[in-house]
Chain A
Amino acid sequence: MAPRLKLFLPLILFVVLALFLFRGLSLDPRAMPSALIDKPFPSFTLPALQREQTLDRSLLLGKVSLVNIWATWCISCRVEHPYLNQLTEAGVHIVGVNYKDDSDAAKRWLADLGDPYSINVVDAEGSLGIDLGVYGAPETYFVDAEGVIRYRHVGVIDERVWNSKLAAIYREIGGELPQQLAEASP
């Protein structure tokens, strides 16, 4: 190596390091891709929350669905609840999975805050949660009409994240919004 070039070695090393660190600023160390992307939604046989009925994965076939993992002990779920109501009003098909929760408390919650779910699966033991790779609520799985998981969102769904990211994914997997989404009140 030419001696002149050697002098620049520390600078080059610094620039490379700085680039990596700069990239690191915008990375989320907690982001964990789901192992179930492009895999069929796991099969399950679990009771429904609000009626006497046994549900299985066939309820996800035929149309694009959002499967929302929620519980009354989950504070972030309360935060996203109003926006889920809005999505349902706009025609999004949302299936709830009431995860490791008390069913009576869950029913009260839906009576008080509105019910955005077309139907709710009771996963009292968290067995469906484990099959899905759920590690905390809220999580939302985007399932296409064939019952295949196409995307997982961890955390709250609000207007910002829906408009910036999730709406495009929803449309890409064939989801439709029959009604215009209501503008959030300022």
Chain B
Amino acid sequence: MRTLLGLVLLCYALAAAAVIETYEFSDPALEERYHALSQELRCPKCQNQNIADSNAPIAQDLRKQLYQQLEAGASDEEILEYMVARYGEFVRYRPEMGGATLILWLAPLLLLVLAAGVAVAVVRSRRNAAEALSDEEQRKLQEMLEREQDA
């Protein structure tokens, strides 16, 4: 049990060591926002990592920018605006809704509606098929039943 706990703690230590440079923040609240924003911003060079996880030089530079701007008192919106003005909506993992990113936001909803529509249609057609017999089938059924009674 103790070894397991040790191993679990060690994993946390590795994750914490992944970011190389550390910044001293004047306020713990700033540090929290630093971590939130560096998770949110995408590294332009290594496109499937955020800047918190990436060791690319550009990610280091952007972390430094982030730190300096936080210490200078910039709001989250101002910082995101600064990054987007330079690197495009691309740098945000949650891009602003509208324009080219609209399809990103709406596609899941559209697919859900489409899937629900297909499901409803399938269920309905099955139920109809079970209930309704054609005239021909109805006549045959009647014949069979009558034969049964005669026998």
Q: B-facing mask of A78-118, CB < 8 A → 1, else 0? A: 00000000000000000000001000000000000000000
Looking at the assembled complex, report how far the CB atom of A154 sits from the nearest CB atom of chain B, in whole angstroms: 10
B90 touching A32, Cβ below 8 Å: yes
B47 touching A131, Cβ below 8 Å: no
Known contacts A29-B47, A130-B65, A136-B58: does B90 contact A36 (CB below 8 Å)?
no
The complex places the Cα of A136 from the Cα of B57 at a distance, in Å, of 9
Q: Which of B84-101 contact A (CB under 8 A)?
A: 84-88, 90
* Residues of chain B lying within 8 A (CB to CB) of residue A133: 44, 86-88
A35 contacts partner chain B, Cβ-Cβ < 8 Å: yes
B45 touching A34, Cβ below 8 Å: no
The complex places the Cα of A130 from the Cα of B60 at a distance, in Å, of 11
A30 touching B84, Cβ below 8 Å: no
B58 touching A131, Cβ below 8 Å: no
Partner of A32, one of B57, B61, B88: B88
Q: A-facing mask of B6-33, CB < 8 A → 1, else 0? A: 0000000000000000000000000000
Q: A-facing mask of B109-124, CB < 8 A → 1, else 0? A: 0000000000000000
Q: Which of A133-164 contact B (CB under 8 A)?
A: 133-136
Question: How many B residues touch the partner, as a band?
Answer: 10 to 19
* Residues of chain B lying within 8 A (CB to CB) of residue A48: none
A35 touching B61, Cβ below 8 Å: no
B44 touching A35, Cβ below 8 Å: no
A100 touching B44, Cβ below 8 Å: no
B47 touching A35, Cβ below 8 Å: no
Looking at the assembled complex, report how far the CB atom of A10 sits from the nearest CB atom of chain B, in whole angstroms: 14
A178 contacts partner chain B, Cβ-Cβ < 8 Å: no
Looking at the assembled complex, report how far the CB atom of A158 sits from the nearest CB atom of chain B, in whole angstroms: 22
Known contacts A135-B44, A136-B45: does B61 contact A34 (CB below 8 Å)?
no
B79 contacts partner chain A, Cβ-Cβ < 8 Å: no
* Residues of chain B lying within 8 A (CB to CB) of residue A35: 84-88, 90
* Residues of chain B lying within 8 A (CB to CB) of residue A129: 61
A135 touching B45, Cβ below 8 Å: yes
B47 touching A30, Cβ below 8 Å: yes
Chain B residue with Cβ nearest A42:
B86
The complex places the Cα of A36 from the Cα of B47 at a distance, in Å, of 19
Contact surface of B with A, Cβ cutoff 8 Å:
44-45, 47, 57-58, 61-62, 65, 84-88, 90
Contact surface of A with B, Cβ cutoff 8 Å:
29-30, 32-36, 100, 126, 129-136
* Closest 10 pairs between A and B when the two form their complex, measured CB to CB: A35-B88, A135-B44, A133-B86, A135-B45, A135-B58, A133-B87, A126-B61, A136-B45, A32-B90, A35-B87
Known pairs A35-B90, A135-B44. 13 more at Cβ < 8 A?
A32-B87, A32-B88, A32-B90, A35-B84, A35-B87, A126-B57, A126-B61, A130-B86, A131-B86, A133-B86, A134-B58, A135-B58, A136-B45
